[in-house]
Amino acid sequence: MKIAFAGKGGVGKTSLCAWVADWLARSGKNVWLVDADTALSLGQASGLDADALPEPLVLRGDLVRERIHEGGFLNLNPEVGDLPEELAVDVPLGGEPLPGVEPGRKRLIVMGAVTNAGGGCACDANALLKALLAHIVMDRDEWVLVDLEAGVEHLGRGTVAHVDGLVVVSEPSMRSLRTGAEVGRMAADLGLDNQVLVLNRYTGGEPPQLDGLPEWRMSVPVLDGLAERQMTDASVLGLPESALLDGLARALLDGLAARERGETGGN
Ligand SMILES: Nc1ncnc2c1ncn2[C@@H]1O[C@H](COP(=O)(O)OP(=O)(O)O)[C@@H](O)[C@H]1O
Ligand SMILES: [Mg+2]
């Protein structure tokens, strides 16, 4: 399955993506983690040292030139099939694999921020980024989790069509729920209507009915173990609450899969 994580900044997208990926790998699945957020924190949240992070694709001027300007022509449909292996870094498991399970591989690809700051080649880098995202999402028969900047606009219509589920992450606050509703609406307009709302740092209460907010909801409580540890450790894995997070990841994936098959997912 291919799953994207979206929502307002700071709500827990990257953490949730890291938790779900770790659960998958510990239950024997191979997972591609795609960091398409400009904050570039998925690697560190998954326990990679800052100096072990892969170089962001958009900074690989050599690749941008080689693929997009192949043979002196502008190629907006570049060959990228070899790039996941070339760019990815293996990410260690955050805990023990499930009993009797051969753990899967977690691999991280960092896209990086496409800006115009450097001038000139931003659109070329963007074209390569889009082509790579499209390839990973459309042509790879593996688990793919994409940590997005905010909404799904990064993905483009063609790529979105191949995403199986959208996890809209929000805090229990009006501002972040509004962003979540906006993201949900835009994704639904692009045909991605298998969505779940994850209320993170949830302390109770009923969220408002906002047009676009996914109807199926799950919640994650405030994690004291994470709050305590995060001053000194960037990883969100291996927490005292990991059994709870495993249960959540499992329910989330089972529900998205059931909905994808046309059954009604849990509630
Ligand atoms: N349920 C939670 N309880 C406590 N701290 C959390 C929880 N979820 C996320 N955090 C912390 O909140 C901060 C923002 O989370 P992050 O996943 O980076 O958000 P985003 O990717 O949406 O910007 C991080 O420091 C993370 O460790
Ligand atoms: Mg993030």
Quick one: pLDDT at residue 140?
87
Domain boundaries, the chain: 2-260
Q: What are phi and psi of 7, to 5 degrees?
A: 145, 175
Distance between CA atoms of residues 64 and 18, nearest Å: 28
Ligand of minimum distance to the alpha carbon of 225 = 1
Q: For the chain, give percent helix, strand, coil, nearest 5.
A: 40, 15, 45
Judge if the beta carbon of residue 245 lies within 6 A of ligand 1.
Answer: no
Q: Show the low-confidence residues of the chain (pLDDT under 50).
A: 117-119, 265-267
Residue 114's pLDDT is what? 62
**Distance, CA 145 to ligand 1 centroid (Å)?**
17
167 lines ligand 1 (CB under 6 A): no
For 97-134, write each residue's pLDDT tens digit. Answer: 999 999 999 999 998 876 554 445 567 888 888 889 88
Residue whose CA is at the smallest distance from ligand 1 atom 25: 230
* Angle at 14 (CA atoms; ends 144, 48), nearest 5 degrees: 85
Q: Is ligand 1 within 6 A of the CB of residue 148? A: no
Looking at ligand 1, which atom is closest to the CA of residue 37?
A: 21
Q: How far is the CA of 6 from the centre of ligand 1 (A)?
A: 13
Find the 9 Cα to ligand 1 centroid distance in Å: 10
The residues whose Cβ lies within 5 A of ligand 2, an ion, are: 13-14, 37, 39
- Round to whole Å and give the CA distance between 230 and 85: 31
Task: Measure Cα distances from 18 to 121, 181, 189, 232, 264 in Å.
Answer: 31, 23, 27, 18, 26
Work out whether strand 106-110 and strand 89-91 pair parallel, antiparallel, or are unpaired. Answer: antiparallel
- Taking the C-alpha atoms of residue 194 and residue 262, their distance in angstroms, rounded to an integer, is 10
CB within 8 Å of 211: residues ≥ 6 apart: 181, 185
Q: Which CATH number fits domain 2-260: 3.40.50.1820, 3.40.50.300, 3.30.70.100, 2.60.120.620?
A: 3.40.50.300
Say yes or no: CB of residue 4 within 6 Å of ligand 1: no
For residue 250 the two structure tokens come to 């499992």
Whether 240 is in the pocket of ligand 1, judged by its Cβ within 6 Å, is no
Give the model's pLDDT for residue 6.
94
Q: pLDDT, tens digit, for every residue of 151-191? A: 777 677 778 888 999 999 999 999 999 999 999 999 999 99
- How many other CB atoms are found less than 10 A from the CB of residue 189? 13
Ligand 1 center to residue 50 CA distance, Å? 18
